């Protein structure tokens, strides 16, 4: 009886583990690029405050371990009409990528940052910036979804993610929930578990978690 109970417990634990490892936060499917939205005369225009705007990222191994950090926005503008995002164009500075989970003075921090900026991942030497342009804003299942063309490592595809827009006087804030993109959609296949020659205990998840906060001023 005890063996049966332990067997059931083990199977349950494994199932919970498998589900938690496979969980994707607001997974977005990359599609073909779409027409970008233009700004109407009635909309209020904002310029991105680059000192207070950033992209948070998190990458994980398939079997245990993860790293996280941020990237800065180098420029951008967006428009809001009647409290809703209407259009926007944003540039992300890939070279600003930093790693937060390893102390800055640790050599492993510089090593990981260098690898992420190499051709295996972002290829910052040839693609020093990424771009996002709004193509639409829709309501879906009670959430506001921002759709836009993401250009990353020279690949442009349309993605969507949940976000809220808040206007406070001369300031407007776009803040997304955490969402997941598939890095291989943008040509980043290094260490992918989908590759036959990848050692599974060293495989890196194709899914990358992102969260965006953009602050704009009139």
E runs forming strands in the chain:
44-48, 54-61, 66-81, 84-99, 129-140, 143-152, 155-168, 171-176, 179-182, 204-217
Task: Spell out, as residue ranges, where the chain has pLDDT lower than 70.
Answer: 1-23, 196-201
CB 102 within 8 A of CB 136: no
Which domains are seen in the chain, by residue range?
25-217 (2.40.128.110)
User: In angstroms, what is the C-alpha Rg of the chain?
Assistant: 20
Q: Kindly give, in sequence order, each residue whose CB lies less than 8 Å from that of residue 155, ignoring residues fewer than 6 positions away.
A: 185, 186, 187
pLDDT reported for residue 201: 60
Entry pTM: 0.87
CA–CA gap between residue 66 and residue 82 (Å, rounded):
40
> Which tokens belong to 15?
């199932």
In whole angstroms, what is the distance from residue 32 CA to residue 50 CA?
29
Burial label for 189, CB within 10 Å (0-12, 13-18, 19+), is: middle
Counting Cα atoms < 13 Å in the Cβ hemisphere of 140 gives: 11
What pLDDT sits at residue 17? 35
């Amino acid at each position: 009886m005890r063996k049966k109970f332990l067997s059931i417990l083990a199977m349950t634990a494994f199932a919970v583990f498998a589900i938690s490892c496979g969980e994707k936060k607001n997974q977005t499917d990359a599609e073909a690029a779409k027409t970008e939205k233009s700004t109407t005369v009635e909309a209020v225009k904002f310029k991105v405050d680059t000192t207070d705007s950033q992209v948070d990222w998190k990458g994980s191994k398939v079997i245990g371990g993860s790293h996280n950090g941020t990237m800065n926005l180098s420029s951008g503008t967006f428009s809001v009409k009647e409290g809703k995002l209407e259009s926007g164009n944003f540039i992300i500075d890939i070279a600003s990528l930093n790693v937060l989970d390893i102390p800055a003075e640790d050599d492993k921090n510089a090593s990981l940052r260098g690898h992420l900026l190499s051709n295996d991942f972002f290829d910052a030497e040839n693609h020093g910036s990424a771009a996002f342009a709004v193509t639409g804003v829709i309501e879906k299942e009670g959430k506001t979804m921002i759709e836009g063309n993401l250009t990353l490592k020279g690949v442009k595809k349309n993605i969507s993610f949940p976000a809220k827009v808040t206007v406070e006087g001369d300031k407007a804030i776009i803040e997304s929930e955490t969402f997941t993109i598939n890095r291989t959609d943008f040509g980043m296949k290094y260490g992918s578990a989908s590759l036959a020659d990848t050692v599974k205990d060293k495989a890196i998840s194709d899914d990358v978690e992102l969260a965006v906060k953009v602050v704009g001023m009139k």
